[in-house]
Amino acid sequence: MLAVVTDSTCDLAPETARQLGLHVVPLRVVMGGRTLLDWQEVDPDAVYDHQRSGGQVDTEPATQAAFERVYRELLGTHDAILSLHISGHLSATAAHARQAAQALGAGHRIQVLDSGFASLPLAEAALAAREAIDRGGDLAAAKQAVTGIQNSLMAEFSVPTLEYLRRGGRLSRTQEFIGNMLGVRPVLRFDAGRLKAVRRVRAAQATGDILTQLEAQFGREPVAVTIGHAGRDAARIAELRSAVQASGLNVVRGRLQLLGPVIGAHVGPGTYGLLARPVFA
């Protein structure tokens, strides 16, 4: 019996994560004078509404105590735990997970991995680990599945407005002003555990540009595609679906998920991402 633990920045809704056999430790959202558990006590759209009204949203990592509670319970029913988390360059969550394993004296039964990702790619890595175990694999097989995802997926993100990146300290006011004046937006990608702007494109062309990059990477190889969007904007999500369907990608499996409160706090409403990974027979 092997358990897979991840954290709420995988952006899988709690009920979805439970159905998929994942145990999720929440980060925390600080908003309106309250500290709330990511996804459990605050809905993504509540964060976006707060941001649109001019409110500030801050985030905090999952605590060591929270990990200790989850690990203690799982160690009573499982032989070992694979604990897979948001990049250590973005959060202290993985460090707190390691501290919890050490405090319980269970380091030999708990493998804590820094995924180097957050959001859509973290979800893919956690699901790959769970699938490997469900096929009868051991802890080594689950870790190998994670490595396979890390090495094979491609995910890029963009934003409709530069305001929230500026608010979060990722852009200066001058950069925001110039970007808006020129009508350009960054395309973001995880690189060595950090979310970096890899190029800048016209706002109206960002989706097509990302799809072009995915097509260049995968060609007609069968892929699974995930669409992520910050907010329940049905019209915009439909546009993204249509763009993927009209692309040259050979999509054999698709998934949609919302970007959650913690991730959304840093990138703002309307941010979206497209992820593709190979599907092997």
Domains recognised in the chain with CATH numbers: 2-27+62-151 (3.40.50.10170), 154-278 (3.30.1180.10)
Give the pLDDT of residue 176. Answer: 46
- Is the pTM higher than 0.75? The answer reads yes
Burial 59-94 (b: 16+ CB within 10 A, else e): bebbbbebbbebbeebbeebebbbbbbbbeebbbbb
For 100-133, how does the pLDDT look when each residue is reduced to its tens digit (9 = 90+)? Answer: 999 999 989 999 999 999 999 999 999 999 999 9
What's the average model confidence in pLDDT over 209-238? 97
For 168-204, how does the pLDDT look when each residue is reduced to its tens digit (9 = 90+)? Answer: 655 555 554 455 555 678 899 999 999 888 899 998 9
Give the pLDDT of residue 201. Answer: 92
Residue 190 · residue 117 · CB < 8 Å: yes
Q: What is the 3-state secondary structure (H, E, C) of 203-223?
A: HHHHHHHHHHHHHHHHCCCEE
Burial 237-257 (b: 16+ CB within 10 A, else e): beebeeebeebebeeeeebeb
| 29/159: higher pLDDT | 29
DSSP string across 71-120: HHHHHTT-SEEEEEES-TTT-SHHHHHHHHHHHTT-TTTEEEEE-S--SH
User: What is residue 151's three-state secondary structure?
Assistant: helix
Give the pLDDT of residue 184. Answer: 77
User: What is residue 184's three-state secondary structure?
Assistant: strand
Mean pLDDT score across all residues of the chain: 93
Give the pLDDT of residue 175. Answer: 58
Per-residue pLDDT at 166 exceeds 90: no
Alpha helices in the chain (DSSP H): 14-19, 44-52, 64-75, 93-103, 120-134, 139-152, 163-167, 173-182, 206-218, 234-246, 261-267
Q: Tell me the C-alpha distance between 241 and 228, whole Å.
A: 10
